[in-house]
Structure 1
Amino acid sequence: MSEQHDVSAPIARRLRIQGKVQGVYFRQSTVQAAQALGVAGWVRNRHDGTVEALAVGAPEAVQALIDWAHRGPAAARVERVEVCEEPLPEPLPQAFAQEATA
């Protein structure tokens, strides 16, 4: 019998979203999408005009949030989404929050 990989084990991904993504309700929409998917973490504007997020949760839920980020809210024009693997933060976040600009 072979060992099964635990597909429900949480993963963490950092997203950097580029395009017309500030001033278009992107952060609040990301919070709503993450909460609906059961993803924890945070989202914030960056001084360089991008939006950055950390998504922590089940792999399929994190991927669904990444897929959503490629579209964003109606007023956004997403040009690029960079996704990087991240180590799981300790302690694991229990909710998804909007953070101050960094």
Structure 2
Amino acid sequence: MKKVKIRVVGRVQGVGFRYMTKLVADEIGVTGIVKNEDDGSVYIEAVGPNEKIEAFIKAIKKSPSPSGRVDACNVAEDDAIENYLRFRITN
């Protein structure tokens, strides 16, 4: 299992980004969380098999929201992330 944390910067709040991220995660089959941050970015934790995580990251970099725009997507592996049972929006 691969565990990553992702910080997404761009036009990612107020455009349905978290909702669309959840749809993509459910479709690909990864678990985790997505939430808005006070600085205007979006924070994601994702857990799943390597190939599914790579597909998820690729989809996030393209912006799952049609009206969103991703300027930067910082990805880091983090084994301390919990094993989520599903993918959910936390705020």
Q: TM-score when scaled to structure 1?
A: 0.85
Unaligned runs of 5+ in 1: 1-9
- Contact 2:45–2:81 (Cα < 8 Å) also in 1: no
What is the alpha-carbon root mean square deviation over aligned residues?
A: 0.9
Aligned match of 1:11: 2
Query: 1:71: Cα distance to partner?
Result: 1.2
Letter in 1 for 2:42: V
Runs of 4+ in 1 over 4 A off after TM superposition: none
User: 5 Å matches for 1:67-78?
Assistant: 67-72=58-63, 73-78=65-70
- Contact 1:56–1:88 (Cα < 8 Å) also in 2: no
- Contact 1:22–1:50 (Cα < 8 Å) also in 2: yes
Query: 1:89: Cα distance to partner?
Result: 3.2
Q: Report the Cα distance in structure 2 between the residues aligned to 1:71 and 1:26, rounded to whole angstroms.
A: 11
Larger radius of gyration: 1
Aligned match of 2:78: 86
1:41 maps onto 2:27 in alignment: no
Query: 1:94: Cα distance to partner?
Result: 1.1
Unaligned runs of 5+ in 2: none
Letter in 2 for 1:84: A
Q: Which has the higher contact order (CA 8 A, sep 6+)?
A: 2
Instruction: Report % sequence identity.
Output: 33
- Contact 1:44–1:53 (Cα < 8 Å) also in 2: yes
- 1:56-98 Cα offsets, whole Å, 9 max, x none, are 00011111110011111110011010001111534x1110000
Aligned match of 2:12: 21
